[in-house]
Amino acid sequence: SQQGEEDPQALSIQEGENATMNCSYKTSINNLQWYRQNSGRGLVHLILIRSNEREKHSGRLRVTLDTSKKSSSLLITASRAADTASYFCAVNSGNTPLVFGKGTRLSVIA
Amino acid sequence: GAGVSQSPRYKVAKRGQDVALRCDPISGHVSLFWYQQALGQGPEFLTYFQNEAQLDKSGLPSDRFFAERPEGSVSTLKIQRTQQEDSAVYLCASSVSTGGAYTEAFFGQGTRLTVV
């Protein structure tokens, strides 16, 4: 079963706009990771945030983590057509391997 | 190699046929994972190796699924007597991490299995 649940399931925006995706999970975590998957390709790691961190930045990406609400958000600023992909959150809890959500399908329209 | 390599990229199998999917992890990566991804879904965990030891196989859907990593490097996922519900993309990932707190996992391009 999948622990991380992304919201929304699908998102369509215009190029230049910001995109926000949310992830909720159920148990305590060591860290939470976000991945991107282009159609027909493998997953690419974007960013990892540890349980004792609240916010992290990487280029146009900003990730927040609220462990009290068991939720995380991924913000992509100034989106580009090339950002079109599926985005997954994955949680690491204890000694278990990464557990992925169902993903958010982002479409950026030029 | 530079990344995780999986072969074949595509496999069409007749129902009842056995298949073997190969994964070459990044050199030196201790941890290796197999995931199954159905169309439009997120990856579902199948099994995990730390070196040659299979530490977790709780995600394997049936005893028709078998994975090995005999020398702690290349891994093979074998599916016996394939059924249509086995059709999916099978993803392999490797990581330098051991223990409870995993760092990033590097994924291969996956093998798309279609059972007809």
Q: Do A92 and B56 touch (CB under 8 A)?
A: no
Whether the predicted pLDDT of B71 surpasses 50: yes
Q: How many structural domains is chain A composed of?
A: 1
Query: Measured between alpha carbons, how far apart are the two ends of chain A, in Å?
Result: 36
A52 CB-near residues (< 8 Å, 6+ apart): none
- CB within 8 Å: A97 and B45: yes
Helix (H) or strand (E) holding A104: strand A104-109
Please indicate whether, in this complex, the C-beta atoms of A45 and B42 are within 8 angstroms of each other: no
Confidence (pLDDT) at B21: 98
Q: How far is B55 from chain A (nearest CA, A)?
A: 10
* The pLDDT of residue B1: 53
Dihedral of CA atoms B85, A2, B43, A59 in degrees, nearest 10, equals 160
Q: Which of A105, A98, A84, A104 is nearest to A29 (CA)?
A: A98
Over the stretch B16-54, which tens digit does the pLDDT of each residue have?
999 999 999 999 999 999 999 999 899 999 999 999 999
For residue B40, the Cα-to-chain-centroid distance in whole angstroms is: 18
CATH of the domain at A69: 2.60.40.10
A36 touches chain B (CB under 8 A): no
**pLDDT score for A106:** 97
User: Given this model, what pLDDT does residue A3 score?
Assistant: 63
pLDDT tens by residue, B3-18: 999 999 999 999 999 9
Residues of chain A contacting residue B112, judged by C-beta atoms under 8 Å apart: 40
Share of chain A residues as helix, strand and coil, in percent rounded to the nearest 5: 5, 55, 40
Residues of B at the A interface (Cβ-Cβ below 8 Å)? 4, 33, 35, 40-45, 48, 56, 91, 93, 99-110, 112
Classified as helix, coil or strand, A79 is: coil
Averaged pLDDT of chain B = 93
- Number of residue pairs across A and B with CB atoms under 8 Å? 61
Q: Which domains does chain B have, with CATH numbers?
A: 5-115 (2.60.40.10)
Q: Give the span between the Cα atoms of B94 and A61, in whole angstroms.
A: 24
B16 or A92, greater pLDDT: B16
Query: By residue range, what is the domain housing residue A84?
Result: 5-109
The pLDDT tens digits of the residues spanning B83-106 come to: 999 999 999 999 987 655 567 889
Per-residue pLDDT of A13-48, as tens digits, reads 999 999 999 999 998 998 999 999 998 788 999 999
Contact A77/A59 with Cβ under 8 angstroms? no
B106: which chain A residues are within 8 Å (Cβ-Cβ)? Answer: 45
What residues form DSSP beta bridges with B99? none
Handedness of CA B107, B109, B111, B112 (dihedral sign): positive
